[in-house]
Structure 1
């Protein structure tokens, strides 16, 4: 249990609190095909595996984050003081919740990854929610965020909706006296071959006051067990977060991975992977669109899609009986039992899954 809960957050609409601590890995079990976790599973390339393996010879020494911090900073065109390495993106949310205890009105834009709100609540914050409208494809309306909110959290692209918000809409949320946290854990899934950078990313925006960008290296590179991510933002803000971070929070192998993933070969590989992902995602969306009663939310832009399906809770149980794990949607604020999130996999896996889903729906 995550500490003592505070008063229920407003805007739920259904009178029940979702389980913010539930994640896709809880859906997975031996013998099930995993469509519940958004981590890419593929052999680790040599340019990543070799330095991680070599780092094991240095485990007697305490981790030195300096080289990795410099490498990440160079990738994003920032000074090293504007980078804080973390044990996965999730640690960044805990640091924010602990370091920013003085905020008066924290707001989380939902549906999105639940750990930011869970971390805030565990630290005693009373959180307000802005729920995006499924009828509007969960697109951001910046005017719905309270003007006096001094901490705003939003994902881009957003988990679980797979919506990619316009950078301009996010930028208008930045203002003096406010910390704007943009979770870009899946931003590298939106990159494309021949395109400089990632569409709608704010990683290079050093002009926006209070902006803090959260990044993860665990998704595309299959490093969820290694725990590596980082924060980009104003040096003074990062110093506040670093002050509450445990000593040597990021391991030596994780630092080696961060350095490798900041190299040009990694950036080029990300774009190739994202291009293949886009084709695989389009295939999944097309197959789902042909099924009766299934509605794909919005215009998916990441490594997963969100679907609305009446009776989805029962369908999920039947899928498990047939060997498939999918992510329930009712633990995300703003969704409910008729939503499911599906990870994008290769076309063969998609075809097998949608055939089973079609059989369940016909029955």
Structure 2
């Protein structure tokens, strides 16, 4: 357990890997699905531009999200990406003992610290498959954050494990930004309304290629939603993002996302099979997200050699609980995977300075 900030750069994110020097790199560092947004979604967003003179009206989008997750609209809050939701939670709530389960997306801890809240870390270990034992969370924790599936480990925690964290007087924030990339969305708590204090965050930016538009949402009990809404500025989500939310939560889009999740699972298996041919590379598994966490010797040098070979991967030493021997790699199509693993085999050869 760690209670203090350390040398990990909590503000480093995958997009920095493809912006550092302007090189033309194959992007395996950012977890946005390739080939997105689809043309039908771009058409919906473009059509919304005709209404830019009016203030944004989020009612239709909010109702679409509510229908998608079988909740009343009072249990939905639209946000400028899931990242804004972490800021709102840190500002609106006053945890006495906040716990962040690492390794995971670092923005929740950064938001809590920026709001003046001390953060206690629960560090999961490779030896246990980065899986949570609920007993690892202190009994007196009144605010717990965990990803599912977790970025960067690709671990999917069982729903019963996370549901077991819920209790009166405790807020349990489950970041499900990548859940729609899991076939069947098994282990999701998005439709669970019986668990006290559970807050589920979703993002539409990864599956639908909307990182530049910023759209996500929060699912929680009405009093929590009301508190977060009071912490939001007026009109926080722009009209084009609202149009995207409404479109992406409609049944045809949900079905399309489900089919994409099945394809991603197949492509992930191909990537795993190719990595199995590289004895120096260890992969965290079983993996359930559209990315893999790799451990290999001298990963920082391998990452630089990969850049020279035309591939950007995500450094993982910025995640608490991980060190310099870790990299995160996005799942891509088979041709890209074959080219990448060939390059990785070259880059992972014994380094000669």
> What TM-score bracket applies, with the shorter chain setting the length?
over 0.9
> Which residue of the other structure, out of 96, 104, 107, is the alignment partner of 2:99?
107
Query: Which consecutive residues of structure 2, in runs of 5 or more, have no partner in the other structure?
Result: none
More divergent stretch after superposition (147-156 vs 292-301): 292-301
Q: Deviations over 1:2-52 (max 9, x none)?
A: xxxxxxx8268xx94200000000001431110000001214334322221
RMSD: 1.3
> Which residue of the other structure, out of 14, 19, 22, is the alignment partner of 2:12?
22
Q: Distance in 2 between matches of 1:18 and 1:43?
A: 31
> Which residue of the other structure, out of 70, 80, 83, is the alignment partner of 2:76?
83
1:248 aligns to 2:241 (yes or no): no
TM-score normalised by L of structure 1: 0.94
The answer to whether the Cα contact below 8 Å between 2:3 and 2:118 also exists between their aligned partners in 1 is no
> Which residue of the other structure, out of 271, 274, 287, is the alignment partner of 1:287?
274
> Which residue of the other structure, out of 49, 67, 71, is the alignment partner of 1:74?
67
The answer to whether the Cα contact below 8 Å between 1:20 and 1:114 also exists between their aligned partners in 2 is yes
1:172 aligns to 2:164 (yes or no): yes
The verdict on how the C-alpha distance between 1:338 and 1:11 changes in structure 2, with shifts beyond 3 A counting, is farther
Runs of at least 4 residues off by over 6 Å: none
Aligned-residue offset at 1:191? 2.3
SS state of the match for residue 293, structure 2?
strand
The answer to whether the Cα contact below 8 Å between 1:47 and 1:260 also exists between their aligned partners in 2 is no
Aligned-residue offset at 1:236? 0.3
1:135 aligns to 2:122 (yes or no): no
Residue 121 of structure 1: aligned partner? 113
Q: Distance in 2 between matches of 1:110 and 1:43?
A: 30
Q: Distance in 1 between matches of 2:349 and 2:171?
A: 49
Q: Deviations over 1:221-249 (max 9, x none)?
A: 00000000000000001101110101111
Q: Distance in 2 between matches of 1:316 and 1:16?
A: 23
TM-score normalised by L of structure 2: 0.96
1:297 aligns to 2:290 (yes or no): no
Q: Distance in 2 between matches of 1:242 and 1:46?
A: 32
Residue 356 of structure 1: aligned partner? 343
Residue 87 of structure 2: aligned partner? 94
Residue 4 of structure 1: aligned partner? none
